[in-house]
């Protein structure tokens, strides 16, 4: 049975890096590349970061119910095609979805057994530092992303697991542990004393990280903004 994993995070939290790294080390895992009507940024290539399509094509796919989830964000459309789930089911692979809070809510309504993971930055200052180091956005865009992050992280309690991306190597190992622990649970494998993945994953469960999350939430302004992807 295919397990669907949802991973969400504010822009600049390091989600893409985590996903790219975990895809290299977790076997049997497929990645769903989203469709979007926005233009490529920097070195982005069609079919790698996104499928970049004209608005007319996206709207046609929407009308034909080809998306598991879709949303309009900052004037552009984003969506996850159903075909990725069908292909994963046919090949016996698990599926990883890199989507925002809006999309995650849609997926959970349609696939309530999906495993959801929210990636948090260590605090607002570190997130701002990461956004500036990327060198991709103007000042107004950076401020908008920070305001959006403040709104998005308020949804953390809707997710099964919370991963604070402080140290990259540790975060990669934690994400790997979550994926493997959930896979074993779905297969009915009982945890053992030697199963470090189960232990690491358990530490990331929502109920076990609430106290750690509070200072991170407090570091963000409460200004709300439209969602971003």
Q: Which pTM was predicted?
A: 0.89
pLDDT tops 50 at residue 101: yes
- pLDDT at 221 (0 to 100): 60
- pLDDT at 138 (0 to 100): 85
Residues 37-66 have pLDDT tens digits of 999 988 889 998 899 999 999 999 999 999
Q: What is the mean pLDDT of the chain?
A: 91
8 A C-beta contact, residue 26 and residue 179: yes
Query: Burial code of 175-201, b = ≥16 C-beta within 10 A, e = fewer?
Result: bbbbbbbbbbeeeeeeeeeebebbebb
Residues 158-189 have pLDDT tens digits of 999 999 999 999 999 999 999 999 999 888 88
pLDDT band with cut points at 50, 70 and 90 for residue 225: very low
Share of the chain above pLDDT 90, in %: 74
Rounded mean pLDDT, 9-14:
91
Residues 105-126 have pLDDT tens digits of 999 999 999 999 999 999 999 9
pLDDT tops 80 at residue 195: no
Rounded mean pLDDT, 139-149:
89
pLDDT tops 80 at residue 21: yes
Cα 85 to Cα 119: distance, rounded to the nearest angstrom: 23
Rounded mean pLDDT, 64-77:
91
Cα 189 to Cα 40: distance, rounded to the nearest angstrom: 43
CB atoms within 10 A of CB 165: 23
pLDDT tops 60 at residue 215: yes
- pLDDT at 224 (0 to 100): 44
Q: Look at residues 14, 12, 6, 56 and name the one whose alpha carbon lies nearest to residue 34.
A: 6
Question: For residues 175, 180, 183 and 189, what is the CA-based torsion angle, rounded to 10 degrees?
Answer: -140
Domain formed by 4-32+93-218, architecture:
3-Layer(aba) Sandwich (3.40)
Strand partners, 81: 67
pLDDT band with cut points at 50, 70 and 90 for residue 137: confident
pLDDT tops 70 at residue 144: yes
8 A C-beta contact, residue 60 and residue 14: no
């Amino acid at each position: 049975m295919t397990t669907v994993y949802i991973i969400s995070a504010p822009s600049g939290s390091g989600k893409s890096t985590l996903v790219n790294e975990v895809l290299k080390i977790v076997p049997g895992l497929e990645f769903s590349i989203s469709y979007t009507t926005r233009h490529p940024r920097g070195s982005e290539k069609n079919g790698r970061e996104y499928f970049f399509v004209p608005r007319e094509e996206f709207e046609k796919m929407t009308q034909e119910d080809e998306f598991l989830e879709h949303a309009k964000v900052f004037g552009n459309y984003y969506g996850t095609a159903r075909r990725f789930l069908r292909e994963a089911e046919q090949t016996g692979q698990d599926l990883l979805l890199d989507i925002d809070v809006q999309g995650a809510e849609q997926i959970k309504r349609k696939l309530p057994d999906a495993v959801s993971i929210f990636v948090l930055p260590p605090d607002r200052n570190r997130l701002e530092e990461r956004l500036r180091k990327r060198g991709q956005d103007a000042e107004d865009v950076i401020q908008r992303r920070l305001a959006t992050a403040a709104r998005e992280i308020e949804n953390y309690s809707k997710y099964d697991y919370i991963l604070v991306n402080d140290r990259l190597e540790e975060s990669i190992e934690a994400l790997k542990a979550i994926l493997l622990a959930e896979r074993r649970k779905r297969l009915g494998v009982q945890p053992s004393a030697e199963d470090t993945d189960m232990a690491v994953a358990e530490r990331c469960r929502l109920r076990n990280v609430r106290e750690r999350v509070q200072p991170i939430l407090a570091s963000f302004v409460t200004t709300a903004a439209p969602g971003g992807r």
